[in-house]
Structure formats: C-alpha cells, structure tokens
C-alpha cells in the first residue's frame, strides 16, 4: 500500500489522472510486468462494496495466445462503417486480442446475503456496482502508471449472442476455476499505448464510433447537474392519463416483483440445501 500523505498536491495528481483517463484501444507489443498487474488487482480490491460484500473476483490473463483466443471469441470493433469481414482479416482478435493483459471481473453472487430474503433480484445490482467501482479503480491506477486501458462490456446476459460468437463466456473460459455463482461483470484490457499526450498519459480517441461518431469530450457541468423541478420541466408537463398509466404499469411491476421474490426464494432453497452447504 502506498503511504503518501494527504495533501493538495496529491489531490491535484488524482484529479489529473481522473481527467486524463481515456479509453485506449491500440497498444504496442510490450508486456506488462506481473508486479504491475498485481498492483492493478489490488486497486480493484480496494474499491468499496455494498454491504461490504467484497465479492469482486479477478481473473488476470497475460499470455498473448490466450488473449488472442479470447479476442477472437469476444470480437469487438467499435468503429462505425467498418467492413467487419475485412477488419477480421486484418485484426482477427478484434481490439481485445491485441492487448498485453486482460483483467476479467466477476461478482461472487454467493456472498449476496439477501438471497434468503427473496430479495436477490433487488440487491443483485450491487454486484454490478461493486465490480464497476473496482474496474474504475483499475483504470485510474493504469492511467497513473502510463498504461492504456479500456473497459469492455461483458456480462452474463451476453451469453449466446453475437458478443461471444454464439457461445457462452463459461465455455470460452472453461479452463479456469469459475464456480457457477461467479457472474461476469466486465473486462479491462490493458497495454502500453501507441501514442501519448504531452503530459505522458496514454492518448485516447476524441471521437467514439460504436454506432454514431460522438465526441468523447465532456459537456459543460450544467448538462450533468440536476436542479429543482421548474414549471417547464418534463415532469411538470405529465398529463393525468399518463400519470394513471404509469401507476397501473408500476402496480403490475410490483406484482411481478412479488412473484419473482417467491421464485427467488425457491432458487435459494435449492442452491443452499443441495449445493452450497456441502462446500
């Protein structure tokens, strides 16, 4: 653990790292030393977790062939208008396959103690949020270390879609010790950047082209801050009929939640009685 004391210089340094973090998707071939990968995982572990579950789990992969295998299966090419056939010829591993290391982040859903209450469907969002906090910590430390990094979407619900070339992430990672209660939450790809800014940070893109080209520059602060409702606000303009419809639909959702809660308890009973207690 670093022991640098709290000061305005440290605050400036942290703010600078936050402001200069960008998604980096092109790397040179230099490998990342194991000590650095360990530090990045430590940053992930140091993230907060809802109810202090500490249920974030990390799979670190730095073998080039293995990264290429995963890249081919989880093919990502975020640039608009690209001819995917041609891109696959030139970059068979998409963007993932050419990184120096991957940190694949999972939530251990067994540590979610709301299961027994039948409230798992409500609290499982904390699993996502805990892992998101870890991923952001990793990205920030990677930025401070002069590495390039990018958060890559991956989740259980992406199974059997084009995201995993028709397969599932479990099949893709079947050689690793990943129990059934581990849920995939995201992938961090890492590498030394091809280009740097004047300050030495990895240089990211100013435009993002997943679906349409969009600037990655942040808008002025007013765009993000929420203020008090005004007469002109969208909420003030809601009609009686729309408000009634929202109420009816909300009641339907509430009833569905109750049904889910019941099913949740049944699943919990099977898991606890038949499997988890035996471990």
Ligand X SMILES: Cc1cc2nc3c(=O)[nH]c(=O)nc-3n(C[C@H](O)[C@H](O)[C@H](O)COP(=O)(O)O)c2cc1C
Q: Where on the chain is the footprint of ligand X (CB under 6 A)?
A: 22-23, 25, 76, 78, 150-153, 204, 208, 216
Short-list 24, 22, 76, 80, CA closest to 213: 80
- The angle at the Cα of 149, spanning 56 to 103, to the nearest 5 degrees, equals 35
CB of 71 to ligand X, least distance (A): 12
Task: State which H helix or E strand residue 59 sits in.
Answer: strand 56-61
> Which residues, in sequence order, are CB contacts of 170 under 8 Å at separation 6+?
159, 178
SS3 133: helix
CB of 104 to ligand X, least distance (A): 13
Whichever of 157 and 250 has its CB closer to ligand X, that residue is 157
> Which residues, in sequence order, are CB contacts of 58 under 8 Å at separation 6+?
41, 44, 45, 103, 104, 105, 106, 134
Whichever of 5 and 220 has its CB closer to ligand X, that residue is 220
Distance CA 40, CA 35 (A): 9
DSSP label of 103: E
Whichever of 112 and 185 has its CB closer to ligand X, that residue is 185
CB of 118 to ligand X, least distance (A): 28
Whichever of 158 and 272 has its CB closer to ligand X, that residue is 158
Distance CA 47, CA 37 (A): 16
Whichever of 20 and 265 has its CB closer to ligand X, that residue is 20
Whichever of 21 and 181 has its CB closer to ligand X, that residue is 21
Distance CA 27, CA 30 (A): 8
CB of 154 to ligand X, least distance (A): 8
% helix, strand, coil for the chain, step of 5: 45, 15, 40
CB of 99 to ligand X, least distance (A): 11
The distance in angstroms from the start CA to the end CA of the chain is 33
- Looking at the DSSP bridge assignments, the partners of residue 78 are none
CB of 112 to ligand X, least distance (A): 21
Whichever of 158 and 260 has its CB closer to ligand X, that residue is 158
CB of 70 to ligand X, least distance (A): 13
């Amino acid at each position: 653990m670093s022991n640098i004391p709290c000061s305005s210089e440290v605050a400036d340094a942290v703010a600078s790292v936050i402001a200069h973090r960008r998604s980096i998707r092109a790397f040179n071939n230099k490998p990342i030393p194991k000590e650095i990968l360990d530090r990045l995982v430590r940053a992930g572990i140091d993230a907060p977790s809802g109810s202090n579950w500490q249920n974030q789990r990390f799979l670190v992969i730095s073998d080039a062939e293995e990264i290429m295998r995963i890249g081919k299966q989880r093919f990502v090419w975020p640039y608009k208008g690209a001819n995917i056939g041609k891109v696959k010829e030139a970059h068979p591993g998409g963007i993932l396959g050419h990184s120096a290391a991957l940190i694949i982040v999972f939530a251990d859903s067994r540590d979610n103690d709301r299961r027994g209450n039948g409230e798992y469907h409500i609290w499982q969002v904390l699993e996502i949020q805990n892992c998101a906090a870890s991923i952001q910590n990793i990205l920030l430390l990677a930025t401070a270390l002069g590495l390039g990094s990018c958060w890559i979407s991956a989740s259980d619900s992406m199974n059997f879609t084009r995201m995993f070339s028709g397969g599932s992430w479990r099949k893709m990672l079947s050689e690793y010790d990943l129990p059934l209660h581990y849920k995939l939450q995201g992938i961090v790809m890492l590498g030394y950047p091809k280009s740097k800014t004047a300050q030495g940070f990895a240089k990211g893109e100013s435009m993002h082209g997943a679906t349409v080209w969009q600037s990655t520059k942040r808008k002025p602060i007013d765009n993000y801050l929420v203020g008090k409702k005004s007469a002109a606000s969208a909420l003030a303009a809601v009609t009686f009929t729309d408000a009634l419809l929202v109420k009816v639909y909300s009641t339907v959702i509430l009833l569905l939640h109750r049904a889910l809660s019941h099913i949740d308890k049944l699943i919990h009973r099977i898991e606890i009685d038949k499997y988890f207690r035996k471990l």
